[in-house]
Chain A
Amino acid sequence: MGIIEMRGVDKWYGQFHVLRNINLDVKPKEKIVICGPSGSGKSTLIRCINRLEEHQKGQIVVDGVELTNDLKHIEQIRREVGMVFQHFNLFPHMTVLENLSLAPIWVRKLPKAQAEERAMQMLERVRIAEQAKKYPGQLSGGQQQRVAIARSLCMNPKIMLFDEPTSALDPEMIKEVLDVMVELAREGMTMLCVTHEMGFAKIVADRVIFMDRGEIIEQNDPHNFFDHPQNDRTKLFLSQILGH
């Protein structure tokens, strides 16, 4: 029984077939890394899970709730699914602390003091508590992304989605973000990460998925995926990103 079940999911952007017959079961606490060339539909795939994108065919069930047009179901699922974006998407007009306590106060209806207490705990967890009163723009990219992760964690999600979380970062900041993600994985979070950080995939992933042109081409545990890729397209992709 998966915490996420996708059955025969298809999606088009106009005429462009961006997802083709996606079947994916994610078990609780499973860590999945999704990779593939740009435009292969990997971001679209995870954005369908919290309905930032709408699928047009097939079925997606998250935590026992099916995603339909029903706004109640969508909001119910979004409460349980955290998302970290490539460009952080912190709210620039709010302090770090306000960014973190916003959803717990308004969505979870927590009292303000309790929400802020929880926010501070999460900031400790990503080792950035001293920045609580600053505005996002005063932080470095790596710090902003760690705040974004903490912001998602404040909602106490069952699933975390990462959409290329390190792609917009300067090289020296990638590690601090990955460290936080590795820690999160060790604590047993269910995670789906779209990323090109193959080192990260080798350490934490239970399964690596390779996508190309909207299809899941190959999936395997990291050892077999990296050392014994089956499909030619996977081999080509791996040689391109690892072979230098």
Chain B
Amino acid sequence: MVVPGSASATMPSGPPASQVGFLGWLRRNLFSNIWNTLLTILCAYLLVVLVPPAFNWLILNAVWSEAPPETCRAAEGACWAFIREKHRVILFGRYPFDEHWRPLLGIAVLLSMVMVSCFRRFWRPWIVAIWAGGLIVFFVLMWGGDLPVTYRTIALLAGLGVARFALSQHAAANNLRGVFLWIMVLLLILTIGGSSILRGLDSLLALIGIGSFFTGLGGVIFEVPTGLSFVPTSLWGGLPLTLLLSIVGIVVAFPLAILLALGRRSNMPLIRTVCIAYIELIRGVPLISLLFVASFLLPLFLPRGVEISDVLRAQVAIILFSAAYLAEVIRGGLQAIPRGQFEAADSMGLGYWQKMGKVVLPQAITIVIPPIVNTFIGLFKDTSLVSIVSLSDLLLATKDMAIADVNWRFAYAEGYIFAALIYFMFCFFMSKYSQYLETQFETGRRKRR
């Protein structure tokens, strides 16, 4: 029975105004209880205290135009004129100033390779050719001049490997193994002729990859002069060095880590022991000590006359180090795969590598995408440790090439902020890409529920 004039009779339909709209949102999210309210007030206070000065320093009072150090010193805000003046040495380090277009182009090559590889639809065998081609172009650009013998040999071997691999994709060409020149000619014909098979964008990319590969290979084998002045690796620096160390580090460490993870779970005692020993030993020492060993101790053991470039030595140290960490991440993924999956694969007669490659690893790696990308981000930032063995990567170039200038020494904050922004850009990209991959596979998994 409703009593006239009572609350229930006059209650309007719908929730009260304080529960909906902007006020409702505020209430729910910022002032829901006493602690939440205190926290909101504290945050608001900090914002008021910190943001305006930061904004003033970074933007409003900053010197944006080209200006001598004196103008900057007099100004209240940040000295972006310093970055204007020094950005090229920060980005390219000790690399000869007039040749900066070469590392710039090199960065473009590396980044386009990475971008192409990010799309799932390009995860095809020919992506290997694009990488081989891209890396050769990168090195030819960076080195110029007479390419060192070691590099020539490695490139030749890599070229042979890629050529054979690409050929094995076409059954018709299988009986033409052996004669390298024939393979080259045939592959070129196949690539052009194959565009009708590959179609569209795919074929264009394959052509670019294989084309650049042959340009590089031709220059290497037949010693066609590059027409570029020679720049030794000791002068390489800045962003191209950081990118080279991290990209090659990731690309080589990843498969190595998969092998180590599989080896650690192997039934064969020798392989298992070697893998465990490797992982535990490498994980047990800091990267810095590995870099030291690679750069100062290793040359002592090498026979006289054998020289390995300092960049390569640091690169190897980074690869060996990251592979040990990644192997444990991947092993975690392997352990999450139920035994039934292994048994089903076994019962169908799949061999070990078929079972791992088709059934187990695709599931295991999907599970551990977040920690894998975590390790990659770590690796990317850890490359800055190569400054210890006096390779001038992005960070050391910022410090030694830009900030060390006596006229600009006061502008160290601006220099580091600039370098930090570059690091952040790449790390943020990796983080976002990881999320993209997760949703890519997650949708597949949700579909399966």
Contacts and interface: CB of A to CB of B under 8 A. Distances in A.
B269 to A, nearest CB: 15
A75 B349 contact: yes
Interface residues of B, number: 22
A138 B444 CA distance: 10
Contacts of B447: 135, 137-138
A78 B363 contact: no
A227 to B, nearest CB: 35
Given A135-B444, A138-B448, A78 B347 contact: yes
Interface string A65-95: 0000000000100110111010101111100
B343 interface: yes
A50 interface: yes
A83 B347 contact: yes
B343 A52 contact: yes
B348 A78 contact: yes
Residue among A75, A93, A151, A152 with the most chain B CB within 10 A? Answer: A93
Interface in B335-387: 338, 340-341, 343-344, 346-351, 354, 358-359, 362-363, 366
B121 interface: no
Contact of A82 (B347, B358, B448): B347
Contacts of B362: 93
B199 interface: no
Contact of A50 (B340, B347, B359): B347
Nearest to B363: A93
A151 B235 CA distance: 59
A89 B350 CA distance: 15
B449 interface: yes
A136 interface: yes
B351 A89 contact: no
A62 to B, nearest CB: 13
Among B354, B363, B448, find the residue whose CB has the most chain A CB atoms closer than 10 A: B448
A85 B343 CA distance: 9
A92 B343 contact: no
A151 to B, nearest CB: 8
B348 A89 contact: no
Interface in B17-46: none
Given A93-B363, A138-B447, A52 B354 contact: no
Interface string B125-154: 000000000000000000000000000000
Interface in A91-138: 91-93, 102-103, 106-107, 135-138
B340 A87 contact: yes
A43 B29 CA distance: 57
Contacts of A92: 363, 445, 448
A84 to B, nearest CB: 9
B448 A135 contact: yes
Nearest to B447: A135
A80 to B, nearest CB: 8
Given A107-B348, A107-B349, A155-B348, A89 B343 contact: yes
B359 A52 contact: no
Interface in A186-229: none
Contact of B341 (A82, A89, A152): A89
A78 B354 CA distance: 14
A85 B340 contact: yes
Interface of A: 50, 52, 75, 78-79, 81-83, 85, 87, 89-93, 102-103, 106-107, 135-138, 151-152, 155
16 contacts: A52-B346, A75-B351, A83-B347, A85-B340, A85-B343, A87-B340, A89-B338, A89-B344, A92-B363, A92-B445, A103-B350, A107-B349, A135-B447, A138-B447, A152-B347, A155-B349
Interface of B: 338, 340-341, 343-344, 346-351, 354, 358-359, 362-363, 366, 444-445, 447-449
Given A82-B348, A89-B344, 18 more contacts: A50-B347, A52-B343, A75-B351, A78-B346, A78-B349, A85-B344, A91-B359, A92-B448, A93-B362, A93-B366, A103-B349, A106-B358, A107-B348, A107-B349, A135-B447, A137-B449, A138-B447, A152-B348
